[in-house]
Amino acid sequence: MKTLVWVEHDNAVVKDATLATVTAASKLGEVHLLVAGSGCGAVAEQAARIAGVGKVHVADDAAYANALAENVAPLVVELMGHHDAFVAPATSNGKNIAPRVAALLDVMQISDILSVESEDTFTRPTYAGNAIATVRSKDDRKVITVRGTAFEKAATEGGSGTVEAVASTGDKGLSSFVGAEIAKSERPELTSAKVIVSGGRALKDGETFEQLIFPLADKLGAAVGASRAAVDAGYVPNDYQVGQTGKIVAPEVYVAVGISGAIQHLAGMKDSKTIIAINKDEDAPIFQVADIGLVGDLFKIVPELTEKI
Amino acid sequence: MKALVPVKRVIDYNVKPRVKADGTGVDLSNVKMSINPFDEIAVEEAIRLKEKGVATEIVAVSVGPAKAQETLRTALAMGADRAILIQTPEGAGSEVEPLGVAKLLAKVQEEEQAGLVILGKQAIDDDSNQTGQMLAALLGLPQGTFASKVEVEGDKVSVTREVDGGLETVKLSTPAIITTDLRLNEPRYASLPNIMKAKSKPLVQKTPSDYGVDVAPRLETLKVAEPAGRTAGIKVADVDELVTKLKAMGVAG
């Protein structure tokens, strides 16, 4: 089976989500990559060094600069003439593009897979991670998105892929990119961080969130996350949100501060290796999944904890 | 322009789903069902566009069992003008997959010629996040997924999207397909008089065969299981004990 993997990149580096996707794709067979973008040659060179990679298809055209699904999907469909599966990380780009590709190929997509059981059988979470379904695809070609935290990352060095340019399928003229507001952060990226400190509604406001959560995160070298309640209340931007509708994370250590543990939040973090909960309500559902719990007032506990580590 | 809003009847988001002991699926008998939360946001957005004078008519459509009528009545009570139910059999194994739903919606859109089709970004039961994108592909229309802001400007629509690193804005030609993210709006509650009025609004019933669409599933569910449970944790008495634990794990210096 020949797979085509979508390379998630920012025109400078290959994103970690791609590496986990390569691991998943390698369980299906030969791994080819697709680097689409504008001026993405350096990314293609990096991609070719990922362990286990064969051909790297590079589509360098202004039409692909911002990964608009309307322009990228026809390119993928073209390449699927000689691939058996299109595999993308379940990032916002992957989730935007892959179903468009699937429908154009008249196949059902398998979303957010957790494991590859065989060439046509996969497991995936449903009902906010409360039920794990094993599904078999009857389609001749597969379109799959991969949950990054469920697979080991492929090594970034050691591969010797061959870079090959592919012709542009052009700008379809349906959509155009206007601009982006990307949140700036010096801290590790949420989805690949080893330690995450997350805050909830109990933090009261944005200022308190910053004063309590950020110093603790920095002491631990952690990324900062948040519950939906904290995002909706405007304490932090939406890209901090962990949960069914936000980011899915599985760090070594997840510290939940002032988060009750609604099922939508748990869906995003319950595969973390160790969960630590700090909450004043000893009956909060978060304590049912926490490995280590501390019941008490976070306004006292968090500064003390930051001080002592 | 007309707005078409697909809605899905799903398990209520507050209910903790129980996996059936025989591993065939999730037990939905006697479980509270509701309109998918993202679809509620889609209905609300369509109503706001109508209140601004941008949308002229709102058509709600659902693919599902007879009981999905209740979901459509909810949309009508919120402010949709009329509804279409594409009825499918009830019970496990008869759910229509996103590809089948997208094919049906494509037929409805060909009939209705809506300027905007507004869907939720994902249904909270299958968590697929596919139908909107598939519909856009089948119709050859642009897609504005994970929308947190929608502004119609003449024959274009500007959509601010929630992406991994923050927000991005795209401009789409219309007709366009939009999928809603949670922060697009705060859906209104249907008032009692509006719930009463919704009962007399038109609701047309169809079947997949009326549209000549084959909705046979492409994915076979072999098994549904509970996720691996987490072993019971411990409670520590104070910060010092927590610090000791963190140090033992090697995450604190």
Q: Would you write out chain A's pLDDT as a tens digit for each of its 309 residues? A: 999 999 999 999 999 999 999 999 999 999 999 999 999 999 999 999 999 999 999 999 999 999 999 999 999 999 999 999 999 999 999 999 999 999 999 999 999 999 999 999 999 999 999 999 999 999 999 999 999 999 999 999 999 999 999 999 999 999 999 999 987 788 998 988 999 999 999 999 999 999 999 999 999 999 999 999 999 999 999 889 999 888 999 999 999 999 999 999 999 999 999 999 999 999 999 999 999 999 999 999 999 999 998
* B165 interaction partners in chain A (CB closer than 8 Å): 180, 182-183, 239
The CA dihedral of A268, A270, A276, A278, to the nearest 10 degrees, is 60
Contact between A96 and A133 under an 8 Å Cβ cutoff? The reply is no
- Burial string for A159-197 (b: 16+ CB within 10 Å, else e) reads bebeeeebebbebbebbbeeeeeeeeeeebebbbbebbb
Closest-CA distance of chain B to residue A86, Å: 15
How is residue B212 written in tokens? 């000549």
The strand order across the sheet containing B143-153 reads A175-182, B166-173, B156-163, B143-153, B176-180, B116-120, B2-6, B57-64, B82-87, B203-206
For chain B, the farthest-separated pair of C-alpha atoms sits apart, in whole angstroms, at: 68
Which of the residues B20, B181, B246, B247 would you substitute to probe the A interface, choosing the one with the greatest number of A C-beta atoms within 10 Å?
Answer: B246
How is residue B246 written in tokens? 């963190």
Cβ of A127 under 8 Å from any chain B Cβ? Answer: yes
* A212 interaction partners in chain B (CB closer than 8 Å): none
Closest to A67 in 3D by CA, of A6, A17, A13: A6
B27 SS3 class: coil
Closest-CA distance of chain A to residue B236, Å: 5
Of B99, B166, B247, the CB nearest to A239: B166
Contact between A274 and A291 under an 8 Å Cβ cutoff? The reply is yes
The amino acid sitting at A95 is: K
In angstroms, the first-to-last Cα distance of chain A is 50
Closest-CA distance of chain A to residue B51, Å: 24
Contact between B36 and B42 under an 8 Å Cβ cutoff? The reply is no
Helix (H) or strand (E) holding B244: helix B239-249
Cβ of A144 under 8 Å from any chain B Cβ? Answer: no
User: CB–CB of A112 and B227 under 8 A?
Assistant: no
Closest to A139 in 3D by CA, of A174, A102, A176, A171: A102
How is residue B248 written in tokens? 């033992």
Count of beta carbons in the 10 Å neighbourhood of residue B75: 31
Instruction: For B87-133, write each residue's pLDDT tens digit.
Output: 999 876 789 999 999 999 999 999 999 999 999 999 999 999 999 99
Strands (E), chain A: 2-6, 30-37, 53-60, 85-89, 109-113, 115-118, 121-126, 131-137, 142-146, 162-165, 175-182, 195-199, 223-226, 253-257, 274-279, 292-295
Of A180, A194, A309, the CB nearest to B253: A309
CA distances from A79 to A57, A66, A168, B143 (A): 9, 19, 11, 22
A214 SS3 class: helix
Count of beta carbons in the 10 Å neighbourhood of residue B121: 26
* B162 interaction partners in chain A (CB closer than 8 Å): 92, 238-239
Identify the closest residue of chain B to A287 by CA–CA distance.
B233
pTM: 0.95
Closest-CA distance of chain A to residue B33, Å: 13
Closest-CA distance of chain B to residue A210, Å: 18
